[in-house]
């Protein structure tokens, strides 16, 4: 398994180096231990990276919200208020851990972890950059299933939310859970269909292959005239899937108090919070990789994988900014409007686009049009 | 003992323990959540068999779809805790023991064809080719999809809200 | 019931409703909206019976903020009760002051100087804007849009500073008093107000771009919570709640008090621009337009103030004893007809005091409007009644 991914083999080399300090090498560890150890380190690193990113996102969100709402946002703790979220994290950590009477203690405690785990696990299949020397994407696990596995793993998050809503023994929480179940399961259809289009064009489920395919400015978004519409559907369905406004019905604070996490506080609450931002990042990353060339900047980035990582990060941040912009601008939809939009608008359009792209690709219309154009 | 053995043992343990919870827990919602872990364990078992596509499909369909539906159904039914009835328990125990003995007998006497597996390759290419080429399984695949569509429409027809006519 | 651990409600009334309902099917449940719910605008509690997302029954419960305001009015001197009126409809405290002051003045037969009347008109109309700003902002919150709220608050903040300049308080002003107003406006205040109104009118257009004409907002409010003209009369609705249903009735014009008959302004009524006449959007729009019209009145009042006679306050005796009798005065509060009914037995304090609160009366239609709506609509309907619980419970 080590030859499959650059990150895991790097971790293995690092362990080897550390053991070298005490005059040993990695072969003293049995293979299963090596596997589990590398996996744990990778998972820990991923978790840490997401937690750090969430700190930045929350700060971003507050500053952006402040700007849009004619106020300042955090600006006292640290430069530009950057340490405000760190301080808030400590506040959340120190808070009393409250489990309401009548709540189901086991499920109540387990739900936040399940919710976060699903989304974090999906990041294993996201390539963060491209190694030009080896001609391989840099990612934790370059699995052939790629996007299929991601959509599958992320689906477990719904179960976590239902669990949280039910275990809280609060009717508002239960409403939140039901809405989540209805909404997320419905929007998986347009989301999956819109993801099918780039998969079809690349011809591979792995996101690493998509990264490779788009090097040198050959972004999927330029490949045919349907792609912008496909991206729009993907983005809307993605917003609905990570429960961001205007689709934040499961936690609609004006209707359901706080929806499925009404009864949560402290660290457990922060898990839900992290999940929201993590899934925003996931959707943004998939969007950047599948539509906007991943780490590619028209080939200008050269062969440095670090710059490519930076470019990808920049694209993700732009997408997250747009999500925040939408959140602080639009009112919330009603649940039946959300369902109508999903089933009667997005899904048929996604089907139509899928058909269109297929036909376009089948008859190679890009080349034919180009010929026609250059002849005249 | 290899990594595959350990993985198999771990997934098998998850599957069996959670399946036991599903069967034995008094609260139906707990059983449903137990089933969630059973599905996960089974998905892991598929992985150890090298069937990665089936693994992902198992998670996507069972965990993401069927589990959610199941939980919906379970949460909306009045959840009475089932009482412990000794006679019923005895009956179940007898039946269970008979089935167990039968299974053990089959396990012991079956002729198990074994083959050394090559290191698991990705199956998805092959599955795609088999399902979508005319020489292979395209027709059955399409027939099944039409059947599912018919079932879907039928279910929607049966479940829709009718106006009460006296 | 869904969860075996969910207990029966403690409140005997709730239990009556629960048990009295008899046939509780499993897919219906009772749910308490409030008193600590974020969008019941205070401590209103609505007991909802829901079938999935759809409300089948609604029972508003009030009284969590009851402070015996009317009884206090019977125990205190007429002048001493004035500050208590601030605490009823705290978002439109000036209007409440005015309603009470006018009732007592009518009882005592006091003549109010022209200048005092104009100052009252100015401050009351400004307070109407401030109050409707809250209605607009919180309605955005109810719909899930947080930004309009902050924008509304930015303008309200400026207004509160103006109020602070003239009377020293930012919420409970006690500015309009029996006989006139407490003090004349400070120097330069007029320019500050006019300056603010210029800015406000520009921002009013921004509000409409941001929220009023937003497609999602229209979808959430049009055709929701429709009140017919008949229901308006039957439930004694007043103010924007009634005008939203197309009934052209405004006490300022139709039963003129103070100097309202001398101003030029329009009274907006619901026209069903985005849906049906009398839906949530219409009520919202009536409030929006009223803000603009109030600005017009304030400008005219400042013009008139230049040639106005008299001082800011009539002479009121220290020991204030109106003669025996009773009287009722209703004024157009931002929420509707605010009426004070006072019976005097000739002593220092009122023999009987009764308040006709617009929020209280407007609230009564919730029981009819909510059934059939979805929970999200219920929030929008409650928001569109624009109640202030301080005045409902008094």
Q: In this complex, do B33 and A107 lie within 8 Å of one another by their Cβ atoms?
A: yes
CB of C3 less than 8 A from some CB of B: yes
Number of domains in chain B: 2
Give the gap in angstroms from C-alpha B86 to the nearest C-alpha of chain C. 24
Look at residue B6 and tell me if it is in a domain.
yes
Burial of C318 (0-12, 13-18, 19+ CB in 10 A): exposed
Which of A2, A103, A113, A152 to probe the B interface (max B CBs under 10 A)?
A: A152
Look at residue B32 and tell me if it is in a domain.
yes
Q: Which of A189, A190, A169, A187 is nearest to A179 (CA)?
A: A187
Q: In this complex, do B76 and C26 lie within 8 Å of one another by their Cβ atoms?
A: yes
Contact C62, C47 (CB under 8 A): no
Contact C97, C116 (CB under 8 A): no
- Please tell me which residue of chain B has the smallest CA distance to C3: B79
> ∠ CA B69-B73-B74 to the nearest 5 degrees?
115
CB of A162 less than 8 A from some CB of B: yes
SS3 C371: coil
Q: In this complex, do C5 and A332 lie within 8 Å of one another by their Cβ atoms?
A: no
Q: Which chains touch C (3 or more CB pairs under 8 A)?
A: A, B
Which residues sit opposite C48 in a β-bridge? C31, C58
Q: What are phi and psi of C40, to 5 degrees?
A: -100, 15
Angstrom distance (rounded) from CA C185 to CA C176 = 12
Positive/negative CA dihedral, B26, B29, B31, B34: negative
Look at residue C160 and tell me if it is in a domain.
yes
Show the tokens assigned to C38. Answer: 């974020």
Residues of B within 8 A of C4 (CB-CB) are 79-81
CB of C186 less than 8 A from some CB of A: no
Q: Count the alpha carbons within 13 Å of C196 in the hemisphere toward its beta carbon.
A: 21
Please identify, among B44, B63, B82, the residue that sits at the C-terminal boundary of a domain.
B63
- CA distances C255 to C261, C269, C301, C329, Å, are 9, 17, 19, 10
Angstrom distance (rounded) from CA C341 to CA C339 = 7
The interface predicted TM-score (ipTM) is 0.81
SS3 C342: strand
Give the gap in angstroms from C-alpha C144 to the nearest C-alpha of chain B. 26
Which residues sit opposite C374 in a β-bridge? C54
Give the gap in angstroms from C-alpha C218 to the nearest C-alpha of chain A. 10
Q: Which of A237, A250, A232, A213 is nearest to A151 (CA)?
A: A237
SS3 A248: coil
SS3 B58: helix
Give the gap in angstroms from C-alpha B14 to the nearest C-alpha of chain C. 28
Look at residue B91 and tell me if it is in a domain.
no
Angstrom distance (rounded) from CA A207 to CA A222 = 18
Contact B46, B23 (CB under 8 A): no
CB of A358 less than 8 A from some CB of B: no
SS3 A25: coil
Residues of C within 8 A of A248 (CB-CB) are 144
CB of A343 less than 8 A from some CB of B: no
DSSP string, C152-209: HHHHHHHHHHHHHHHHS-SS----EETTEESSPPPTTHHHHHHHHHHHHHHHHHHHII
CB of A68 less than 8 A from some CB of B: no
Number of domains in chain C: 1
CB of A335 less than 8 A from some CB of C: yes
SS3 C332: strand
Residue C320: give the domain boundaries. 69-393
Give the gap in angstroms from C-alpha B76 to the nearest C-alpha of chain C. 6
Q: How far is CA B61 from the centre of its chain?
A: 10
Q: Which of A76, A85, A65 is nearest to A329 (CA)?
A: A65
Look at residue C13 and tell me if it is in a domain.
no
Q: How many residues does chain B have?
A: 166
- Please tell me which residue of chain A has the smallest CA distance to C31: A171
The string over B107-137, giving b where at least 16 C-beta atoms fall within 10 Å of a residue's C-beta and e elsewhere, is eeeeeeeeeeeeeeeebbeebeeeeeeeeeb
Helical (H) or strand (E) element with A145: none
CB of B80 less than 8 A from some CB of C: yes
Show the tokens assigned to B6. Answer: 């350990």
Give the gap in angstroms from C-alpha A328 to the nearest C-alpha of chain C. 6
CB of B75 less than 8 A from some CB of C: yes
Angstrom distance (rounded) from CA A125 to CA A111 = 23
Please identify, among B63, B81, B112, the residue that sits at the C-terminal boundary of a domain.
B63
Show the tokens assigned to C303. Answer: 């013009």
CB contacts under 8 A, A 226-265 vs C, are 245-246, 248, 252-257
Angstrom distance (rounded) from CA A257 to CA C33 = 9
Helical (H) or strand (E) element with A357: helix A347-362
Residues of C within 8 A of A335 (CB-CB) are 53, 374, 376
Q: Count the alpha carbons within 13 Å of A50 in the hemisphere toward its beta carbon.
A: 27
Per-residue HEC secondary structure of A67-90 comes to HHCCCCCCCCCCHHHCCHHHHHHH
CB of C5 less than 8 A from some CB of B: no
Contact C205, C341 (CB under 8 A): no
Q: In this complex, do C376 and A335 lie within 8 Å of one another by their Cβ atoms?
A: yes
Look at residue C40 and tell me if it is in a domain.
no
Q: In this complex, do A31 and B60 lie within 8 Å of one another by their Cβ atoms?
A: no
Look at residue B70 and tell me if it is in a domain.
no
Give the gap in angstroms from C-alpha C3 to the nearest C-alpha of chain B. 7
Q: In this complex, do A145 and B124 lie within 8 Å of one another by their Cβ atoms?
A: yes
Look at residue C36 and tell me if it is in a domain.
no
- Please tell me which residue of chain C has the smallest CA distance to B74: C2
Look at residue C16 and tell me if it is in a domain.
no
Angstrom distance (rounded) from CA C104 to CA A248 = 51
Q: In this complex, do C2 and B76 lie within 8 Å of one another by their Cβ atoms?
A: yes
Contact C340, C178 (CB under 8 A): no
Angstrom distance (rounded) from CA B28 to CA A104 = 13
Torsion of CA C179, C185, C190, C191, to 10 degrees: -170
Q: Record the pTM.
A: 0.84
Residues of chain A with pLDDT below 50 are 1-2
- CA distances B87 to B26, B28, B128, Å, are 17, 21, 52
Give the gap in angstroms from C-alpha A74 to the nearest C-alpha of chain C. 16
Show the tokens assigned to B159. Answer: 């479940």
What CATH number corresponds to the domain at position B28? 1.20.120.1200
Q: In this complex, do C4 and B75 lie within 8 Å of one another by their Cβ atoms?
A: no
CB of C375 less than 8 A from some CB of A: yes
Give the gap in angstroms from C-alpha B32 to the nearest C-alpha of chain A. 10
Q: In this complex, do C26 and B77 lie within 8 Å of one another by their Cβ atoms?
A: yes
- Please tell me which residue of chain C has the smallest CA distance to A171: C31
Look at residue C234 and tell me if it is in a domain.
yes
Per-residue pLDDT of chain C (394 residues; tens, 9 = 90+): 344 445 555 554 454 444 444 333 446 778 888 788 887 777 888 888 887 788 888 888 888 888 888 888 888 888 888 888 888 888 888 899 898 998 988 888 888 888 888 889 999 999 999 999 999 999 988 888 888 999 999 899 999 999 998 888 888 888 888 888 888 888 888 889 999 999 998 889 989 988 888 888 998 898 888 888 888 889 888 889 888 888 888 888 888 888 888 888 888 888 888 888 888 899 999 999 999 899 989 988 888 888 877 787 878 877 788 888 888 988 988 988 998 999 988 888 888 888 988 988 888 888 888 888 888 888 899 888 888 888 888 8
> Taking each helix axis from N to C terminus, what angle separates C280-305 and C189-207, rounded to the nearest 10 degrees?
160
Look at residue C9 and tell me if it is in a domain.
no
Q: In this complex, do B80 and C27 lie within 8 Å of one another by their Cβ atoms?
A: no
Q: What are phi and psi of C85, to 5 degrees?
A: -65, -30
Residue B151: give the domain boundaries. 123-166
Contact C126, C163 (CB under 8 A): yes
Which of B64, B67, B73, B77 to probe the A interface (max A CBs under 10 A)?
A: B64
Look at residue B84 and tell me if it is in a domain.
no
Residues of B within 8 A of A149 (CB-CB) are 56
Q: In this complex, do B68 and A178 lie within 8 Å of one another by their Cβ atoms?
A: no
Q: Which of C243, C90, C109 is nearest to C179 (CA)?
A: C109
What CATH number corresponds to the domain at position C232? 1.10.645.10
Angstrom distance (rounded) from CA A157 to CA B165 = 42
Residues of C within 8 A of B78 (CB-CB) are 1-2, 26
Torsion of CA C50, C51, C57, C63, to 10 degrees: 0
Complete edge-to-edge strand list for the sheet that includes strand C45-51: C28-33, C45-51, C54-61
Q: Which chains touch A (3 or more CB pairs under 8 A)?
A: B, C
Contact C301, C122 (CB under 8 A): yes
Contact B15, B38 (CB under 8 A): yes
CB of B78 less than 8 A from some CB of C: yes
**Residue A205 is nearest to which of B3, B63, B124, comparing CB atoms?**
B124
Q: Of A19-23, B97-101, B147-151, C143-147, give the lowest mean pLDDT range.
A: A19-23
Look at residue C301 and tell me if it is in a domain.
yes
Q: How far is CA A183 from the centre of its chain?
A: 17
**Which residue is associated with the tokens 């003293």?**
A28
pLDDT confidence of residue C56: 85
Neighbours of C205 (CB within 10 A): 11
Q: Which chains touch B (3 or more CB pairs under 8 A)?
A: A, C
- What percentage of chain B exceeds 90 in pLDDT? 17
Torsion of CA A18, A24, A27, A29, to 10 degrees: -70
Residues of B within 8 A of C26 (CB-CB) are 76-78
CB of A145 less than 8 A from some CB of B: yes
Look at residue B98 and tell me if it is in a domain.
no
Angstrom distance (rounded) from CA A70 to CA B28 = 51
Please identify, among B48, B63, B78, the residue that sits at the C-terminal boundary of a domain.
B63
Burial of A317 (0-12, 13-18, 19+ CB in 10 A): middle
CB of C25 less than 8 A from some CB of B: no
Contact C340, C107 (CB under 8 A): no
Which of B43, B55, B66, B68 to probe the A interface (max A CBs under 10 A)?
A: B68
Alpha helices, DSSP H only, in chain C? 12-20, 69-75, 78-86, 93-108, 114-143, 147-167, 189-207, 215-221, 229-234, 240-243, 251-254, 280-305, 358-363, 366-369, 375-385, 389-393
């Amino acid at each position: 398994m080590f030859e499959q991914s650059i990150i895991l083999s790097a971790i293995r080399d690092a362990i080897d180096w550390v053991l070298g300090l005490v005059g040993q090498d990695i072969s003293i560890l049995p293979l299963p231990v090596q596997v589990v150890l590398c996996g744990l380190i990778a998972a820990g690193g991923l978790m840490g990276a997401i937690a750090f990113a969430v700190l930045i996102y929350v700060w971003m969100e507050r500053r952006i919200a402040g700007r849009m709402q004619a106020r300042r946002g955090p600006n006292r703790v640290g430069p530009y208020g950057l340490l405000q979220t760190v301080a808030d994290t400590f506040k959340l950590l120190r808070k009393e851990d409250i489990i309401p009477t009548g709540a189901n203690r086991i499920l109540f405690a387990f739900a936040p972890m399940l919710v976060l785990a699903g989304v974090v696990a999906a990041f294993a299949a996201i390539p963060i950059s491209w190694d030009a020397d080896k001609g391989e994407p840099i990612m934790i696990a370059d699995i052939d299933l790629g996007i299929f596995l991601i959509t599958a793993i992320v689906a477990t998050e719904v179960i976590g939310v239902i669990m949280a809503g039910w275990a809280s023994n609060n009717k508002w929480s239960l409403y939140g859970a039901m809405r989540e179940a209805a909404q997320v399961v419905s929007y998986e259809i347009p989301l999956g269909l819109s993801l099918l289009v780039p998969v079809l064009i690349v011809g591979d489920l792995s996101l690493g292959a998509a990264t490779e395919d788009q090097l040198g400015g050959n972004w999927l978004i330029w490949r045919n005239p349907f792609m912008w519409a496909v991206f729009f559907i993907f983005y809307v369905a993605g917003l609905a899937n990570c429960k961001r406004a205007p689709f934040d019905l499961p936690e609609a604070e004006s209707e359901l108090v706080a929806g499925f996490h009404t009864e949560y506080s402290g660290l457990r609450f922060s898990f839900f919070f992290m999940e929201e931002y993590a899934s925003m990042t996931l959707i943004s990353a998939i969007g950047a990789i599948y539509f906007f060339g991943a780490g590619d900047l028209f080939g200008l980035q050269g062969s440095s994988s670090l710059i490519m990582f930076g470019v990808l990060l920049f694209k993700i941040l732009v997408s997250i900014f747009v999500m925040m912009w939408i959140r602080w601008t639009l009112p919330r939809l009603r649940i039946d409007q959300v369902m109508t939009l999903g089933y009667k608008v997005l899904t048929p359009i996604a089907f139509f686009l899928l058909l269109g792209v297929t036909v376009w690709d089948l008859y190679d219309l890009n080349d034919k049009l180009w010929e026609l154009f250059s002849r005249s | 003992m290899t990594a595959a053995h350990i993985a198999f043992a771990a997934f098998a343990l998850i599957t069996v323990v959670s399946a036991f919870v599903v069967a034995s827990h008094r609260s139906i919602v707990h059983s449903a959540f137990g089933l969630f872990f059973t599905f996960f364990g089974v998905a892991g078992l598929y992985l150890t068999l090298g069937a990665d596509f089936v693994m992902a499909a198992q998670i996507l369909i069972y965990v993401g779809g069927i589990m959610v539906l199941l939980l919906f159904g379970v949460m909306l039914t009045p959840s009475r805790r089932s009482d412990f009835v000794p006679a019923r328990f005895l009956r179940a125990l007898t039946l269970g023991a008979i089935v167990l003995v039968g299974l053990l007998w089959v396990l012991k006497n079956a002729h198990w064809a074994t083959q050394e597996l090559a290191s698991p390759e990705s199956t998805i290419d092959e599955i795609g080719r088999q399902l979508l080429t005319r020489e292979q399984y395209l027709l059955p695949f399409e027939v099944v999809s039409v059947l599912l569509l018919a079932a879907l429409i039928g279910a929607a027809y049966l479940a829709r809200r009718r106006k009460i006519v006296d | 019931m869904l969860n075996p651990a969910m207990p029966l409600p403690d409140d005997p009334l709730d239990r009556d409703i629960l048990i009295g309902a008899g046939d509780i099917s499993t897919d219906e449940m009772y749910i308490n909206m409030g008193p600590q719910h974020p969008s019941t605008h205070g401590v209103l509690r609505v007991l909802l019976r829901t079938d999935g997302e759809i409300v089948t029954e609604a029972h508003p419960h009030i009284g969590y903020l009851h402070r015996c305001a009317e009884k206090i009015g019977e125990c205190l001197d007429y002048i001493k009760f004035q500050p208590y009126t601030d605490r009823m409809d705290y978002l439109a405290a000036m209007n409440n002051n005015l309603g009470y002051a006018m009732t007592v003045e009518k009882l005592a037969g006091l003549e109010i100087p022209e200048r005092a009347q104009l100052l009252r008109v100015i401050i009351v109309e400004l307070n109407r804007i401030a109050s409707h700003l809250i209605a607009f902002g919180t309605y955005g919150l109810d719909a899930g849009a947080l930004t309009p709220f902050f924008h509304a608050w930015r303008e309200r903040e400026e207004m509160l500073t103006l109020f602070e300049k003239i009377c020293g308080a930012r919420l409970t002003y006690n500015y309009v008093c029996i006989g006139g107003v407490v003090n004349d406006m400070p120097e330069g205040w007029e320019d500050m107000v006019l300056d603010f109104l210029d800015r406000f009118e520009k921002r009013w257009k921004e509000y409409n771009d941001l929220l009023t004409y937003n497609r999602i907002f229209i979808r959430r409010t049009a055709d929701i919570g429709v009140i017919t003209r008949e229901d308006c009369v039957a439930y004694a609705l007043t103010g924007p709640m009634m005008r939203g249903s197309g009934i052209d009735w405004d006490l300022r014009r139709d039963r003129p008090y103070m100097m309202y008959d001398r101003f030029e302004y329009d009274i907006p009524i619901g026209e069903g621009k985005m849906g049906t006449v009398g839906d949530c959007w219409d009520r919202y729009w009536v409030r929006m337009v009223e803000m603009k019209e109030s600005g017009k009145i304030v400008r005219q009042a400042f013009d008139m103030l230049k040639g106005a006679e008299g001082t800011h306050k009539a002479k009121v005796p220290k020991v204030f004893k109106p003669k025996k009798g009773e009287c009722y005065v209703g004024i157009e509060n931002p929420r509707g007809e605010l009426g004070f009914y006072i019976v005097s037995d000739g002593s220092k304090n009122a023999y009987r005091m009764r308040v006709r609160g617009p929020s209280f009366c407007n609230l009564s239609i919730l029981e009819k409007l909510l059934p059939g709506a979805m929970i999200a609509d219920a929030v929008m309907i409650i928001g569109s009644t624009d109640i202030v619980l301080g005045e409902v419970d008094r």
